[in-house]
A and B are shown apart, each in its own frame.
Chain A
Amino acid sequence: MEHAEPVTSRGEQHQPIRVYILVWGLLFVLSTLSYLLDYFDVHPDALRRFLITAFALIKAALIVAYFMHMRFERLGLVLAILLPPLLLMALVAIILPEGTYVFRVREVFFGR
């Protein structure tokens, strides 16, 4: 039983090579910026952490969209892969208050 070879995977080039090199450069710049934020210990902490998280998310988006070609996939596959990880937000929403709770309990019992 043969099925038609999908259009997006027949081996044609999706994007010119300079797009890859541009994304590569952007990843370097964003990583360096994150490192410098830590190196110079930018204050306040909340600002530094916000920026580090933002840079990480931008880097992740660049890798998935351009290096992993998610931009060129069919919407069905894109949604099937990118929506489920949002469930991890629920895990984080449950587990972070739990961590704070354990912190309080330890404070009470270990007296600090």
Chain B
Amino acid sequence: MERQPKQTLKGPSQIVSDWASDLSAFKVVWGKAMMWIFLLSDTFIFGSFIASYASARLAASATNTWPDPAKVFALEIGGQEVPLLLIAIMTVVLISSSGTMAIGVYHAYGRNKRMTALFLVITALLGLTFVSMQAFEWTHLIRDLGFRPWTNPMGAPQFGSSFFMLTGFHGMHVTIGVIYLTAVAVRVLKGAYDRGSYVGVEICGLYWHFVDLVWVFIFAFFYLF
């Protein structure tokens, strides 16, 4: 594509040219730099959510006690209540998916098409498992236990709003990640990265590991604290 010298451009085309120029910041592939910057902005979103949750939880106990997550998320196995069982399994699934993603990226460096695609698909399936378990958990909480964003039978009403906001936003990220992983896996199989570098897989991996990273903090601060 021919580009005009920047000085001669005026108005909207100048703006487009500046924003679309081949300038490269940070000396990495632009897609990688942009993904990192996107993840940075996402860090602020999740950071704000967790901070607001902390504030709500601190303030709530004056009028109502904060429901104990160990009791809310307990599952009954053979007549015995195991606290946070489903959450523990979800954590294991998500960490596993992060591991398979890392191995997928490892094979992408080695330009091994089939292994890369295989591990991307495994990662996507684990992600899908995670979202399904979260859907099960939400259904259980809403239908069986009567949790709503504005009220719940087990204590402070702020619990619902914090819970649905944090896990809902995270679950949305996982869902988008599954779609993203599937798309990249299809591209790998079609040989879209064979002519250039496989950095697209690594960029996808950055997103997926970030989703796992956020879960680390939700697991620690919302469920275990």
Name A residues whose Cβ lies closer than 8 Å to a Cβ of B: 1-3, 5-6, 8-14, 17, 20-21, 23-24, 27-28, 31, 34-35, 37-39, 41, 49, 52-53, 55-56, 59-60, 63-64, 66-69, 73-74, 76-77, 80-81, 84-85, 87-88, 91-92, 95-96, 98-100, 102-107, 110, 112
Contact = CB atoms under 8 A, between A and B. Distances in A.
A84 B44 CA distance: 9
Contacts of A27: 95, 98-99
Contact of B197 (A9, A84, A88): A9
A31 B28 contact: no
Interface of B: 3, 21-22, 24, 26-29, 32-33, 36-37, 39-40, 43-44, 47-48, 51-52, 54-63, 70, 83-84, 88, 91-92, 95-96, 98-99, 101-103, 106, 108-111, 197-199, 202, 205-206, 209-210, 212-213, 216-217, 219-221, 223-225
Contacts of B206: 68
Contact of A63 (B26, B98, B110): B98
Given A69-B202, A112-B63, A98 B88 contact: no
Given A95-B54, A99-B54, A99-B58, A17 B216 contact: no
Nearest to A87: B44
Contacts, number: 176
B103 A106 contact: no
A37 to B, nearest CB: 7
Given A8-B28, A60-B213, A106-B59, A35 B95 contact: no
B55 A77 contact: no
- Nearest 9 A-B pairs (CB), nearest first? A99-B58, A106-B62, A102-B59, A99-B55, A56-B220, A24-B99, A88-B47, A77-B26, A13-B109
A66 B98 CA distance: 11
B194 to A, nearest CB: 11
A91 B53 CA distance: 12
A42 to B, nearest CB: 11
Contacts of B58: 96, 99-100, 102-103
Contacts of A35: 84, 88, 91, 224
Contacts of B21: 1
Given A17-B103, A68-B209, A96-B55, A9 B62 contact: no
Contact of B199 (A11, A17, A21, A76): A11
Nearest to A35: B88
B103 A85 contact: no
Interface centre among A12, A68, A102 (most CB of B within 10 A): A68
